[in-house]
Amino acid sequence: MPFTVAIVGRPNVGKSTLFNRLVGRKLALVHETPGVTRDRREAPARLGDLEFNVMDTAGLEDAAPESLAGRMTAQTGAAVDAAQVAVLMIDARAGVTPADRHFARWLRERNVPVLVAANKCDVSGAQAGVMEAHELGFGEPVAISAAHGEGLADLYAAILPYAEDSDGRAPGPSGSEEGSKTRDIHIAVVGRPNVGKSTLINQLVGTERLLTGPEPGITRDAIAVPFTHGGRAFRLVDTAGLRRQAKITGTLEGLSAGDSLRAIRFAEVVILVVDAERMFEQQDLAIARHAAEEGRALVIAVNKWDLVGNKTAAARKIRDALSASLPQVKGVAWITMSALTGKGVGELMPAAARAYDVWNRRVPTAQLNRLLAVVTDRHPPPAPGGKAIQIRYMTQVKARPPSFALFVNKPEALPETYMRYLSNAIREEFDLGGTPLRLLARRGGNPYAGRARKKPRGGKAPSKIKPGTKRRRKRAPARPSRRG
C-alpha cells in the first residue's frame, strides 16, 4: 500500500489549498466559503524527492452523527484511518481555537501519527499562533503558507521519517484516484441534483465511499473513485448536480458546475443518471446533448425504477424520448435500476464497457466505400443548380469518437440532412450505437496536381513558355523564281 498523508482540520484553514500545492495542480475547489470540501479526495503528490498519496478531507465540525456535518466527519475519520500520518492544519492568525483542541483530542484517540501545520504564516502576527500550537501536544508545529508555498521544506523534513519507517524508502504513488499508471476507463457520472449519482457509485464500489443523504446538492466537486469490474479497471468520477444555467446562483455553485462540465470533457464514457419519476426533463436532455457534442460515449441509467408503477408505459416513454430528442446518439443503451437497493446495477458497467469499445472502434476503408456505393446508389446526393454532388471516397480519420472524412467535389453544397442520412447508415451497418459520429466533408483534390510532366520517349521535354507570351511561327522557305 502506498504511503498516504491525510490533511485534516476545521473548516477554512487552507486544507484544499495545501492539497492543490502538493498535487501540483488545481484539483480541489478553493473558495472563501467555509465547508466547500465535503468528500475525501485522493491524488498522488510530490514534495522534493518524496512521492506519496495525499488526501483532502472535509472540515471537522462537532455535530450529531446523523447530520450532514456528522456524516462529513465520519468521511474524514475513514481517511485518517487509511493514512500513515495525519497533518492537522490550524490558522496561525487565529491561534489555537477550542475547535482545534477538540479535534486534536479526536485525533489522539486514533492510531495514527499527527503533525501540526500552522498555515497562513506569511502575515504579521502569525508567530504567536505558531507558538500556541505547541499546547496541542503533537510536537514542534510546522509554519507554512499553503497559498505561497512557504515552509514546504520544513513540512518535507517532518513527513520524511514516517515515510521511511513505513517502507524503508520514500515510496511512489500507486493506485490513487487521480493518477493511476494503469490504463483506466474514465467514466463521468452526471445528472441533475439529487438523482442518486453518489448512491450509485457507493453501490458499485460496495462501500460508503461518497457522502450521501436526502439533502440536494451534497456533492460540490468532482471526486474520482477507482473501481474494477469484470477484470477491467474504471475510474468513476462523481460530479455535482447540473442545474440550468439560469438557475445557478452564487460563485460556488458556478465553480461546481464548471467542475462537472470539465469532468465530462475529460471522460471517455458518460453515465447520465435520470430520475425514473421525472424522466428526461429539459435539463436531462441538455446534459446528454452536451456529452454528445463533446464526443463522449453515453449510457443512461434510469434510477429509482422500483418506484415506478406502470413500467411498460415508462419504458415506452424512454424509447420515444430518446428517438425524438437524441438522434445524434441513436441506439444509446439505457439501464433501469435502483441505486439504493442495487437491483439492476450489475448491468450498468458491462453497458459502459461496450460503449467504450464502440467509441474506440475502427472501420476498414474498403468496407466503408462499399457501403458508400450502396447508399449513394439507393439515394444519390442532391444536384443543386443541376450540377451533381459527387462523393468520391470515404475513410475513417480517427476513433474516440469515430470520425469519417468524405471527399466531395462540392463539400459546401452537401446538405446537413444528407450527412445525417450517411451517419445513420454507417451507425446501422457497423453497429455504432450509443456514440456520436463525426462526418467531415472535404474537397477532393486533383490527383495530378503537383506532379512533374513526363519527357516524351526519345525526345526533349516540351519547352516551358511563360503565360501571356505568343509562339512565333517559323517562316516557310521561299520558293525559287521561274525567271531564268
Task: Note whether 418 and 310 are same-domain residues.
Answer: no
**How many helices, marked H, and strands, marked E, lie in the chain?**
12, 15
State the Cα–Cα distance between residues 116 and 57, nearest whole angstrom.
15
What integer pLDDT is reported at residue 180 of this predicted model? 43
**Cα–Cα distance for residue pair 110/96, rounded to 1 Å:** 21
CATH of the domain at 223: 3.40.50.300
Distance CA 247, CA 221 (A): 18
| Composition of the chain by helix, strand, coil, percent to 5 | 35, 20, 45
Q: Cβ-count burial of 193 within 10 angstroms (0-12 exposed, 13-18 middle, 19+ buried)?
A: middle
341 with 411, same domain: the answer is: no
Q: Is residue 17 a part of any domain in this protein? A: yes
Q: Do residue 217 and residue 163 come from a single domain?
A: no
Size of the chain in residues: 484
CB contact at 8 A, 51 and 173 = yes
Cα 89 to Cα 84: distance, rounded to the nearest angstrom: 16
On whether both 235 and 318 belong to a single domain, the answer is: yes
Whether residue 173 lies inside any domain: the answer is no
C-beta separation of 187 from 268 below 8 A: yes
Burial profile 402-412: b = 16 or more Cβ within 10 angstroms, e = fewer: bebbbbbebee
CATH label of the domain that carries residue 423: 3.30.300.20
Looking at the structure, do residues 238 and 296 belong to the same domain, yes or no? yes
Q: Quick check: is 149 in a domain?
A: yes
**Does residue 285 share a domain with residue 220?**
yes
Q: Is residue 421 part of a domain?
A: yes
Q: Phi then psi for 228, rounded to 5 degrees?
A: -120, 135
Does residue 430 lie within any of the structural domains?
Answer: yes
Q: Is residue 422 part of a domain?
A: yes
For residue 271, the 8-state DSSP code is E
pLDDT of amino acid 175:
45
Structural domains of the chain, count: 3
* Domain C-terminal end among 117, 138, 167: 167
Beta carbons of 236 and 229 less than 8 angstroms apart: no
Q: Which of 135, 167, 199 is the last residue of a domain?
A: 167
Domain assignment present for 467: no
Both 377 and 329 in one domain: the answer is: no
Per the rule left: phi > 0, alpha: psi between -120 and 50, beta: everything else, 231 is left
Based on the fold, state whether residues 74 and 133 are members of the same structural domain. yes
- Distance in angstroms (rounded) separating the CA atoms of residues 347 and 333: 11
Locate the DSSP E strands across 345-437: 391-398, 403-408
In this prediction, residue 457 carries a pLDDT of 64
Domain boundary among 359, 386, 417: 359
Q: How far apart are CA 36 and CA 344, in angstroms?
A: 33
pTM of the model: 0.82
> Which range of residues forms the domain containing residue 281?
185-359
Neighbouring C-beta atoms of residue 481, cutoff 10 Å: 6
- H or E stretch covering 224: strand 223-229
Asked if residue 451 belongs to a domain, the reply is no
Residue carrying C-alpha cell 498516504:
4
Low-confidence spans in the chain with pLDDT less than 50: 168-182, 484
202 and 344 co-located in one domain = yes
Pair (369, 336) in one structural domain: no
Phi then psi dihedrals of residue 308, to 5 deg: -85, 135
**pLDDT score of 170:** 47
The answer on 242 and 213 residing in a single domain is yes
Residues 280 and 317 reside in one and the same domain: yes
Angle between helices 348-359 and 197-205 (to 10 degrees): 100
What phi-psi label fits residue 206: left (phi over 0), alpha (psi between -120 and 50 degrees) or beta? left
